Structure 1
Amino acid sequence: MKIEEIKNQLEKKKLENNLRTLKIFKEEDLNLSSNDYLGIGQDKKLKEEFLEKYRDKILFSSSSSRLITGNYKIIRDLEERLNKIYGKSSLVMNSGFSANKTIIETFYNKNSLIITDRLNHSSIYAGILESGAKVVRYRHLDIAHLETVLEKYKKDYDDILVVTETVYSMDGDIAPIKKIVDLKKKYKFNLMVDEAHSYGVFGYGIAYEENLLKDIDFLTIPLGKGGGSIGSYIICDEIYREYLINFGREIIYTTSLPPVNALWNLFILEKMEEFSDRRKKLWELIDFSKEKIKELEINAICDSQIMALIIGDNKKADIISKNLRDKGYVVYSIKSPTVAKGTERIRVGLNPNISKEEIFNFLKEFKNELNSIF
């Protein structure tokens, strides 16, 4: 791109009230934008326990890809533990984006059909683009529409992948995975499920809790949310794992995660069942938030730990989020085209470290801002 074109594109973003900037928030403010849904990423006691256990084993660089010297012992220990929990083979990746993209671009091509929920993450669409496969989007969480698409194309393709997330990042709504699995049994497609926003909140994930692992070909578990970390797990059959190691470009050519991250991820994985009190407190906060949203007559979506407070305009969303930040709340506007026009919002990520009083006070402030700006 030429400089003039770059300037024009940035100016267009400004005029649309949609220019992104990098911000720093004050640590003393109430952080309502974090995806650390169990509050483990910032837990000082967990950090101290981790350091006490692993202090002498911590290394900060793997210094190569896993095919060279980056396949250190602790990363294999982590995978062995995952294998026992999920009953399948596992592969540790550097990020959820990398895991999703790599699966799709490695296994699917121009002869494949990929059917994706229209609101699936950008990483999934990046993989689809690289694969060259034909893509069809079905209406968000609309299982009847998914079946219509399958019925239409079943005779034209014998290599079909259906991709869904479990909990969606903008509305926090939950996909009916069991119904999709039922369709798989009928139409014989491959199924890929992303558990980015459900891991931790639902223990080992919704697929695990609902006993659906055997019916899912590729399960990705990104760790930057409820996992309180970085990286991602791929859960799949051993033959898929072997193929990824041999043909997955981001595995072959990327330096693997530092050992310190694998140690932390193993530490958290082994404690996942101990976090039941955190999950209980989180769901109590979710139910409380639903009650207060109804009481204050706020237009919002709150089906899980993700709360979407609808404003409906890019400029107004920016103004309200700035005013709330000035009052000590770390919130940011989510604007179109990231979300559909007319549904611009403030997105809140709940966690058990937020008190009921704090969330109620915030909702009242949001309501006041909403009333004053309209």
Structure 2
Amino acid sequence: MESLVSSWTKELDGRAATATLRQQQGTRNKVDFCSNDYLGLARNDAFQARLLAVAQQEPAALTGASGSRIIRGHADAVAEVEQHIAYTHGNASALLVGSGYLANLALFSCLLKRGDSILLDEKIHRSVHDGCKLSMATKWKFRHNDLTHLESCLRKAKGRVLVAVESLYSMDGDFAPLEDIITLANRYGAAVIVDEAHAAGVFGCGVVHQKGLQEQVLATVVTYGKAFGLAGAAILGSKLLTDYLLNFSAPLIYTTGLPIYHATAIRTAYGFLADNPSLALSLQNLLARFAQQGMKTTSAAVSPIQSVRFSDSTCLLAATAVMQQNGLDVYPIFPPTVAVGAERLRICMHTFNTPSEIDLLGKYIRAWQQ
């Protein structure tokens, strides 16, 4: 026990020495440029009023499901919300789960067997990698958005093959070339799974839905802890897929079902976004303002995630400190979240940010990027 504690202390001290020690962060009285609340729903008074009305109509829905969804923990009201989500996204079936992390564990842990292959974009979310650790399939990584390298991996892959990508990447703020990836995967008989955590809500029901690709992907994951201002996630796909997951996915089978209120709040969010299309338009107007600041970023102009690089880690830390001291809540990203040498500020834009706040952010970033 003593040696274990000593090793933990040494590792934590190492992170503290390099200013990369992670700590829990609450709400700070600064301008938010780091949360995933892209459309501002988590702080929207009108949305909160709708949620309160839902809770008041059925207080019993606030309590837990009290069991696994395959025993007694799946209410009819939750099933109705899943049907609504599936219909809204143009899919046959949907399964609600507690988080996007859990959704990816549920998917990647059980779909393939020993002798099969999972091909991951190197910048896909950590939850996908962790899901693969629970699988007996062989995991391969291909270079980010590199179709040539993906094809090389497809040629070598054994057994049944899955290709997994994000539609909008959480750290780089760029998009996957979904149509090209699907075409390439089809050529080699591989299936595609798309994580839409950062696209859903900002781009309607997500990029897969916008492009009409539902029938061409095996599964889509959408999450509700970002643009929807809530928590949880949905796995979208065929009825066969969801039936298989309910029978063979341990993260779904051996966990308590969602409370009714959790599901009805998600349905409420869909309705609120449908009634307020101006939110997504306002975000794009602010992103256009951000683009006018002359900062160096490799992210897509329409992405709410803007990846800002600096000359080195020392410069990144110094710039972050100055911005924090001047009331701008920004967050630096270090390894292992990103590769060594790829440290950056991950700037998140929101509908509640003002033009003057964006101008101030641009002023500080330009000063430190030079």
Instruction: Name the TM-score class by shorter chain.
Output: over 0.9
Q: Deviations over 1:105-157 (max 9, x none)?
A: 1111221111110011111000111102111111101112211221233xxx2
Q: What is the deviation of 1:278?
A: 0.9
Residue number in structure 2 paired with 1:300: 297
Q: Kindly provide the amino acid, as one letter, of the partner of residue 170 in structure 1.
A: M
Larger mean CA deviation between 52-61 and 272-281 belongs to 52-61
In structure 1, distance between residues paired with 2:339 and 2:86: 39
> Pick from 147, 151, 160: which aligns with 2:151?
147
Q: What is the deviation of 1:72?
A: 1.5
Q: What is the deviation of 1:197?
A: 0.6
Asked whether the 8 Å contact 1:17–1:315 carries over to 2, the reply is no
- Secondary structure of the residue that 1:106 maps to in structure 2? coil
Aligned length: 363
Asked whether the 8 Å contact 2:91–2:237 carries over to 1, the reply is no
Residue number in structure 2 paired with 1:264: 265
Asked whether the 8 Å contact 2:122–2:142 carries over to 1, the reply is yes
Residue number in structure 1 paired with 2:280: 279
Q: Quick check: 1:349 aligned with 2:353?
A: no
Residue number in structure 2 paired with 1:18: 20
Q: Quick check: 1:132 aligned with 2:136?
A: yes
Q: Quick check: 1:94 aligned with 2:91?
A: no
In structure 2, distance between residues paired with 1:93 and 1:324: 37
Q: What is the deviation of 1:323?
A: 2.5
In structure 2, distance between residues paired with 1:22 and 1:227: 22
Larger mean CA deviation between 192-201 and 223-232 belongs to 223-232
Q: What is the deviation of 1:369?
A: 5.1
- Secondary structure of the residue that 1:288 maps to in structure 2? helix
In structure 1, distance between residues paired with 2:327 and 2:120: 39
Residue number in structure 2 paired with 1:103: 107
Percent of counterpart pairs with the same letter? Answer: 27
Residue number in structure 2 paired with 1:122: 126
In structure 2, distance between residues paired with 1:301 and 1:258: 40
Residue number in structure 2 paired with 1:84: 87
Q: Deviations over 1:229-270 (max 9, x none)?
A: 111100111112112112211212112233222111011123
Q: Quick check: 1:196 aligned with 2:197?
A: yes
Q: Deviations over 1:77-122 (max 9, x none)?
A: 1111023222311111111111111111111122111111001111
Q: Kindly provide the amino acid, as one letter, of the partner of residue 20 in structure 1.
A: R
Q: Kindly provide the amino acid, as one letter, of the partner of residue 292 in structure 2.
A: E
Q: What is the deviation of 1:54?
A: 4.1
- Secondary structure of the residue that 2:323 maps to in structure 1? helix
Q: Quick check: 1:340 aligned with 2:362?
A: no
Larger mean CA deviation between 306-315 and 228-237 belongs to 306-315
Q: Kindly provide the amino acid, as one letter, of the partner of residue 77 in structure 1.
A: E
- Secondary structure of the residue that 2:107 maps to in structure 1? helix
Residue number in structure 1 paired with 2:8: 6
- Secondary structure of the residue that 1:22 maps to in structure 2? coil
In structure 2, distance between residues paired with 1:60 and 1:332: 35
TM-score, with length taken from structure 2: 0.93
Quote the RMSD (CA, aligned, Å): 1.8
In structure 1, distance between residues paired with 2:42 and 2:73: 24
In structure 2, distance between residues paired with 1:342 and 1:256: 41
Asked whether the 8 Å contact 2:95–2:234 carries over to 1, the reply is yes
In structure 2, distance between residues paired with 1:83 and 1:302: 30
Asked whether the 8 Å contact 2:310–2:368 carries over to 1, the reply is no
Q: What is the deviation of 1:19?
A: 1.4
In structure 2, distance between residues paired with 1:332 and 1:193: 26
Unaligned regions of 5+ residues in structure 2, if any?
Answer: none
In structure 1, distance between residues paired with 2:243 and 2:224: 22
- Secondary structure of the residue that 1:91 maps to in structure 2? strand
Q: Quick check: 1:62 aligned with 2:65?
A: yes
Q: What is the deviation of 1:223?
A: 1.4
In structure 1, distance between residues paired with 2:325 and 2:27: 10
In structure 2, distance between residues paired with 1:178 and 1:193: 12
Q: Kindly provide the amino acid, as one letter, of the partner of residue 138 in structure 1.
A: F
Q: What is the deviation of 1:2?
A: 1.0
Asked whether the 8 Å contact 1:35–1:226 carries over to 2, the reply is yes
Q: Quick check: 1:71 aligned with 2:68?
A: no
